Amino acid sequence: MRTIIEPFRIKSVEPLRRTTPEQRENILAGAGYNLFQVRSSDILIDLLTDSGTSAMSTEQWAAMMRGDESYAGSESFYRFEQAVRELTGFRHVIPTHQGRAAEHILFSIMCKPGQSVPNNTHFDTTRANIESNGARALDLPFPGTSDTQARLPFKGNLDVEALEKLMEAEGPSKIPLVMITVTNNSGGGQPVSMANIEAVRKVTTRYGVPLYLDACRFAENAWFIKRDEPGYADLTPREIAQKMFSLADGCTFSAKKDAFANIGGFLCTNNSKLAEQETNLLILTEGFPTYGGLAGRDLEAIAVGLEEVLQPEYLEYRIASTAYLGRHIADHGVPIVEPPGGHAIYIDAGRMLPHIPRAQFPGQALAVELYRHAGVRSVEIGSVMFGAEARHELLRLAIPRRVYTQSHVDYLVEAILEVNQRKDKIRGFEIVSQPQFLRHFTARFQPV
């Protein structure tokens, strides 16, 4: 059979609330045309983020009932630790309440002012945690990423040549660690090849600098390697993921992505001295080392989720479903970041709405129009979010895991194509009020 189906059936449902166009017009005006300010009950299909929005399985809910809420030495911690160790092979496993807490602890211990941390592309919390320790967060994306339309595999790769040059110029004492983000979230959800991780590993070994994975979407990345990289078709996603982790000295992880959990994260390292310092900081900021800011039941959900996410039927459906959305809108003239990534489709709003200048936020205009037309929530990733540093004006449609069905995806395709048909009538926005930092969450807009 050719048809790829959702490899699950639905046991518990959550009703969707429909709104009328008039209601949505009022909701938009009340929210200052900022979708972060809209209540979730006023959203029909919510593609704001894939973080913490997964549907958990019957096995995860069952495991949660087994949660051991002991302060010290919880059985749930040992099950969690074993699941993480079997997957990653790392010696020390430190639970945290989410990914950014792992980043905070890692960079507080490893980074000093004046140092630089290179990455294919830093996620925004990663960048902020490096910079708040006085170090510099450096993006070294593979040069092919600047053209959103190029259909190359592994556009998430790190630019190894640029890394070599940096190492030579600054020396290992100025580079406390190198990171690779899999998949490259801020770079369009694009995967990183095993060959690229190996090439980066060679450089870091030569200079004696540790390599860390920002591993939030390790399973989606493993599937792309299996599908597209020569030599990996016959390995299981687990074997590929294990090989990815074996090339690194440690990792940070948000369990809100590829562990199907609603909260949680962890930090891993093979370095016992670092682990001791990290654990001491953990106790200060997150909690005792056998719970790290999480309930025992959360640790159980993560342990089960790490198994389930590597099931080939799930990954095949997941990547095919995202690609289906991307192909069906792109083949009818909507410019997306090519090729479709793992967890999201990014529409190139700057290219789609050339009549709206950057200063009038084409990505925001498209986000508002998609909500107005179809009740769909998405998020601008462009000049509203990054100001003058924005490289592209994108609209991200992030797909929650195991939540929406094929008919929801068909509804999305129809909605986006209808908006595309009358794109010439979409107008830009200006900012009425904004806070000093992270303005995209609370800024208010008005149509120009």
Query: If binding is defined by CB under 6 A, does position 193 make contact with ligand PLP?
Result: no
Residue 99 Cβ vs ligand PLP, minimum distance, rounded to whole Å: 2
Residue 95 Cβ vs ligand PLP, minimum distance, rounded to whole Å: 12
The tokens 């990183």 sit on which residue?
Answer: 192
Residues in Cβ contact with 292 at an 8 Å cutoff, skipping those fewer than 6 apart: 94, 95, 96, 97, 101, 266, 282, 286
The tokens 């895991």 sit on which residue?
Answer: 401
Between 262 and 434, CB nearer to ligand PLP: 262
Q: What is the amino acid identity at position 419?
A: V
Residue 226 has φ and ψ, to the nearest 5°, of -60, -45
Residue 101 Cβ vs ligand PLP, minimum distance, rounded to whole Å: 7
Distance set, CA 142 to CA 161, 351, 446 (Å):
9, 22, 37
Hey, is 338 helix, strand or coil? coil
Cβ–Cβ under 8 Å, residues 423 and 362: no
Residue least distant from ligand PLP (Cβ)? 99
Identify which range of 119-127, 140-148, 274-282, 418-426 contacts ligand PLP by CB under 6 A.
119-127
Instruction: Please work out the total of residues on this chain that contact ligand PLP, with binding judged by CB under 6 A.
Output: 15
Query: If binding is defined by CB under 6 A, does position 396 make contact with ligand PLP?
Result: no
Query: If binding is defined by CB under 6 A, does position 181 make contact with ligand PLP?
Result: yes
Query: If binding is defined by CB under 6 A, does position 265 make contact with ligand PLP?
Result: yes
Between 33 and 107, CB nearer to ligand PLP: 107
Between 51 and 193, CB nearer to ligand PLP: 51
Query: If binding is defined by CB under 6 A, does position 256 make contact with ligand PLP?
Result: yes
Query: If binding is defined by CB under 6 A, does position 322 make contact with ligand PLP?
Result: no
Cβ–Cβ under 8 Å, residues 308 and 57: yes
Q: What is the DSSP letter of 93?
A: E
Query: If binding is defined by CB under 6 A, does position 156 make contact with ligand PLP?
Result: no
Distance CA 369, CA 25 (A): 10
387 token code pair? 């100001």
Q: Is 231 exposed, middle or buried (0-12, 13-18, 19+ CB in 10 A)?
A: exposed
Site for ligand PLP in 207-226 (CB under 6 A): 214, 216
Distance CA 47, CA 398 (A): 5
User: Which uninterrupted H or E stretch holds 94?
Assistant: strand 92-96
Residue 244 Cβ vs ligand PLP, minimum distance, rounded to whole Å: 15
Distance CA 346, CA 378 (A): 10
Query: If binding is defined by CB under 6 A, does position 416 make contact with ligand PLP?
Result: no
Between 88 and 254, CB nearer to ligand PLP: 254
Q: Which of 99, 118, 176, 375 binds ligand PLP (CB under 6 A)?
A: 99
The residue ranges that bind ligand PLP (CB under 6 A) are 51, 98-100, 123, 125-126, 181, 185, 214, 216, 254, 256-257, 265
